[in-house]
Structure 1
Amino acid sequence: MIRFLALAFVIFLYACKTEQSETKENNSTIEENLYFGYKSPGMIPEVFIPRKSTSQDWKLGNADSFDMDEFYFTYTGNNPFEDPVVVYRNEGSYYRVNKYSFKHNPSDSSILYSRWNYIERTDSGWSKIKSLGPMFDREDWGIMVMSVSSKGTLVFDDHKSNDVIRISRIVDGKREEPKLLGEQINSGKWTAHPFIAPDESFLIWGSEREDGFGLSDNYISFRQQDGSWGPAINMGAKINSKLVENGARLTPDGKYLLFSRSEEKVREDGSTYWESTKYWVDAKIIETLRPEQ
C-alpha cells in the first residue's frame, strides 16, 4: 500500500510540474527562467535571492527501471548553478529522502558530480549514484564542495585536513590521484569552497588571511602561461567585507559571478546563528583583477 501511494504521489507531481513548466516556457524568456526576472547587475554586487517555486521542471529519472526501492528526481529552477537531485530510498517501513547538490561539467551535461559521487544521464533518465572510487571516497577527507572544468578537472576542498584544496586532472584519458594545490592557494584559515573556471583560466576560493577585510574573503588565482597558478589575489572591497564571503562561482552562461555573504546574529534567547545572503555581479569584474602580462 505504501509503495502504491508513493508511486501515485510521484506520478501526480510529475504531471503537475510538467504542465506548469510548459505554461511557463510559453510565457517567459530563457533569461527570466534562469534569473527569475531580476534585472542584471553591473559592476557593483546586488542581492540575489532566487524566488521559491513549486519545483517546476522536475524530471523523473530511471523511468524504465522504476522498482520503487530507489528512484530519483532532478529539477532546476531555484538555483542557477547547481542541479539538485532528490533521492527516495526504500528503508523497509518508510522512504528516506535525501537531496544532493550536483555540479555539472560545462561541456558535458551527461555527468553530474557531488563530492565523491556522480550520476550519469542514460536513455531512460539518470543512473544510480556512483562513487568516484577509492581516490575520493576516503574517511579521512572531508569534501564539502567540488568544482569541475570543461576538461573534467576536479577541484575540491577538505575540512578534515586543516582546510586545504586538492586538484585531480584527467591525463592521457585517466583520472590522476588528487594533489594538494600550492601555498599560493593553501594558505590562511578556512580555505574552502573552490570554483575552477570552465576553461581553467582561474580558480576562486574562500579563505581568511592577514591581508583580508576581516573574516573569510573570496580570493582568485589566474593560470600562468607555464600552467602554474599565480599568486592569490583578494577580490577587493566590492566583493569582500568584514563579514564572511565565500562560495563564489560563475552562472552557467558565464555572465555573472555569484557569492555568499554571511553574518553571525543573535536570537532573543542569546544563542547565535549565521545568516547568509547571496549576491551577484557582472562577471567582467574578474578581468579587472587579472594582472597585466
Structure 2
Amino acid sequence: MKRIYTSIISLLPILLMINKSYGHDELPVLKGTYLGQKPPGLTAKPFAPGIVNTEEWGDAGGFSPDMNEFYVTRWRHSRETRIPEAVTFKKVGDQWRRIAVPAGTRRPFHSPDGKTLHYRAKYKERTADGWSEMKSLGPAFEAIEIMGLTASAKGTLVLDERGSSAGDGIIRYSKLIDGKWEDPKPLPKEINTGKWNAHPYIAPDESYIMWDGERESGFGSSDLYISFRQKDGSLGEAINLGEKVNTGAEEGGPHITPDGKFLLFNRMVPNTNGKAGSQSDLYWIDAQIIEDLRPKE
C-alpha cells in the first residue's frame, strides 16, 4: 500500500467464504446497509469478502455521501495478475447491483456535502445539469504528485504526495478562502514525522486528521495514526490507533463511512491464491475506537 494505494445489504449466507470471489453472474442478493455486511464491532474484520475483497487483486473502496453507491478501487498485486476490473455497486431500492464501469475510470473523493468530486489536483462541481467540466485546483496542486486527497465540510483539503522511493512524502492542507483554495502548506511535525506519511483523512468537522505512516514506535510496518484538534485550534500529538487496528503488516488508507459509524482501512494480508507474497484487503471496525482515543476534556 505504501505507494500503491492512493481509498452490500442483508446478511450474506454462511456459504460466503472469505476465500471465494464471485463472478458477475454469481453475485448473491445483497440487501440493506453496508452491502449487507454484519457490522464488525470493535474487532476489525474484512469488508465484504468475496465481493469487495478478492483473490486476484489489491482492493479498496468507499461509499458515496448518500451511502447509495460503493466505489471499488483495484490494482494488480503481482505482474502475473491480469488487469483489474473496474467495479461500482449501486443501491436500487433495497438491493445492491454491480454496474459496469469503463476501464480506467478514476474513483473520486466526494466532498461531505456531495457537491464536489475531487480527482487529485482536479475537481468537478455539481450543477443544475449534472457535473461541470474538469477544473484544476491550481498550479501549486498540479506540481505535487498527489495520491490521496480529502475535504472537510468547510472545504479544507488535506493531501499527500508520492515522494521518493524511500517514502518521504509530506502531508499538506489547503483552506478554502473566498471560493478559492490557497496553496498547500505542510502540516506540523505532529503529523509529518517518521519515515513517511500518506493517505490522509480529515473529519468533516475538522476535529481530527487520520493517516498512515511508519515510525520507530509503531507495530512494524505502516500504522494508522490520528491527531485531534486542540482547544487552541492546533493539532495534537499523533496517536497510534493501537492493536485493534494495527499489526506487524502494513495498514493504510483510513476513512470513515459518511454516516460516521465505521472506520474503513486497508491491510496487507497473505495471498489467498496460494502464491507467495501479500495483497491489500479492505477492513472495517466500529468508529467508537476513535472516540475511545479522543482526549477527555
Q: Normalised by the size of structure 2, how large is the TM-score?
A: 0.69
Shift of residue 98, structure 1, vs aligned partner: 2.8
Determine which of 217, 220, 224 is the counterpart of 2:226: 220
Q: Is the 8 A contact 1:49 1:277 kept in 2?
A: no
Shift of residue 275, structure 1, vs aligned partner: 0.4
Match of 1:182 in 2: 188
Q: Is the 8 A contact 1:214 1:241 kept in 2?
A: yes
2: distance between equivalents of 1:218 and 1:248?
Answer: 7
Match of 2:153 in 1: 150
Query: Which residue identity lines up with residue 136 of structure 2 in the other structure?
Result: S
2: distance between equivalents of 1:291 and 1:146?
Answer: 26
Match of 1:130 in 2: 135
Q: Is the 8 A contact 2:213 2:223 kept in 1?
A: yes
Match of 1:49 in 2: 48
SS of 2:232's equivalent in the other structure is coil
Query: Which residue identity lines up with residue 46 of structure 1 in the other structure?
Result: K
Query: Which residue identity lines up with residue 236 of structure 1 in the other structure?
Result: G
Residues 85 and 129 from structure 1, CA distance in 2 versus in 1: closer, same or farther, beyond 3 angstroms? farther
Match of 1:249 in 2: 255
Shift of residue 234, structure 1, vs aligned partner: 0.4
Residues 264 and 181 from structure 1, CA distance in 2 versus in 1: closer, same or farther, beyond 3 angstroms? farther
Determine which of 264, 271, 285 is the counterpart of 2:289: 285
Match of 1:40 in 2: 39
Match of 2:115 in 1: 110
Q: Is the 8 A contact 2:147 2:161 kept in 1?
A: yes
Match of 1:159 in 2: 162
Taking CA–CA contacts closer than 8 Å with sequence separation of 6 or more, which of the two structures ends up with the larger relative contact order?
2
Shift of residue 172, structure 1, vs aligned partner: 4.4
Task: List runs of 5+ in structure 1 lacking aligned partners.
Answer: 1-26, 59-73, 79-83, 88-96
Residues 142 and 40 from structure 1, CA distance in 2 versus in 1: closer, same or farther, beyond 3 angstroms? same
2: distance between equivalents of 1:149 and 1:35?
Answer: 22
TM-superposition CA deviations, 1:76-101 (whole Å, max 9, x none): 539xxxxx9967xxxxxxxxx53111
SS of 1:135's equivalent in the other structure is helix
Determine which of 68, 71, 90 is the counterpart of 1:77: 90
SS of 2:154's equivalent in the other structure is coil
2: distance between equivalents of 1:142 and 1:200?
Answer: 24
Moved over 6 A (4+): 266-269
SS of 2:289's equivalent in the other structure is helix
2: distance between equivalents of 1:245 and 1:75?
Answer: 23
Higher strand share: 1
SS of 1:287's equivalent in the other structure is helix
Match of 2:126 in 1: 121
2: distance between equivalents of 1:181 and 1:41?
Answer: 32
Deviates more, 1:120-129 or 1:211-220: 120-129
Shift of residue 268, structure 1, vs aligned partner: 7.9
SS of 1:275's equivalent in the other structure is strand
- The answer to whether 1:262 aligns with 2:275 is no
Residues 244 and 129 from structure 1, CA distance in 2 versus in 1: closer, same or farther, beyond 3 angstroms? same
Q: Is the 8 A contact 2:110 2:118 kept in 1?
A: yes
Give aligned pairs, total: 229
User: 5 Å matches for 1:223-234?
Assistant: 223-234=229-240
Task: List runs of 5+ in structure 2 lacking aligned partners.
Answer: 1-28, 53-67, 71-86, 92-98
TM-superposition CA deviations, 1:206-230 (whole Å, max 9, x none): 0010110000000000001111100
Q: Is the 8 A contact 2:137 2:181 kept in 1?
A: no
Residues 147 and 250 from structure 1, CA distance in 2 versus in 1: closer, same or farther, beyond 3 angstroms? same
1: distance between equivalents of 2:100 and 2:208?
Answer: 28
**Percent of paired sites with the same residue:** 47
RMSD of equivalent CA atoms: 3.1
Higher helix share: 1
Shift of residue 159, structure 1, vs aligned partner: 1.7
